[in-house]
Amino acid sequence: MKVISTKIPDVKVIMPDIFKDDRGYFFESFNQKNFNEAIGSKINFVQDNESKSKKGVLRGMHYQKQPFSQGKLIHVNHGEIFDVALDIRKESPTYGEWVSEILSADNKKQLWIPEGFAHGFLALSEEVKVIYKTTQFYSKNHEKTIKYNDKKFNIKWPEMTQYFLSDNDKNAVSLIED
């Protein structure tokens, strides 16, 4: 696999090696040993999640507070998303900065988002299925959501006729209010 650093060095784009022939393709979507070597630390995933969304669904910006902060390894197995990682580590030199990546079933890119980041995505295709691994179990009591359009961070989401948001995302607060 090939690992590409983003403008926030802790967030990585992972490009698996894809083997294609006239029958189709094969790739290893995850290998613990290779992943840990590529990231440079021992990461332990404890949960896999899958979501299905229609075009225009915006999910985010979600994170969990300590001691349930989650690292996430995101990939798409159907459709295409605009995926965003927002650095909310107050001691970080990249605090408040965000990076985005187009993840799709076609490009097979994965995005590694370590603990201390809020995460969100926008479904770009008619239907999207997103699968992601987490380093910590879900904890409703530690779950937080930042406004997807918080002016402090000025995330440049692709324009859509309409964004479809959950009630939780509609009622999210600015990180300053958190």
- Which are the contacts of 123, defined by CB distance < 8 A and separation ≥ 6? 53, 54, 55, 56, 57, 58, 79, 80, 81
Catalytic residue among 78, 132, 142, 148: 132
Active site residue 142: no
- Residue among 143, 148, 140, 141 at smallest CA distance from 174: 148
Q: What residues contact 151, with CB distance under 8 A and at least 6 apart?
A: 174
Strand partners, 47: 134
Q: Judge whether 75 counts as a catalytic residue.
A: no
Instruction: Given the residues 25, 62, 95, 142, select the one marked as catalytic.
Output: 62
The position carrying tokens 């983003």 is 6
Q: Closest Cα to residue 48, out of 130, 131, 121, 110? A: 131
CA 87, CA 115: separation in Å to the nearest integer? 9
In this structure, the number of other CB atoms found within 10 A of the CB of residue 91 comes to 6
> Which active-site residues does the annotation give?
62, 132
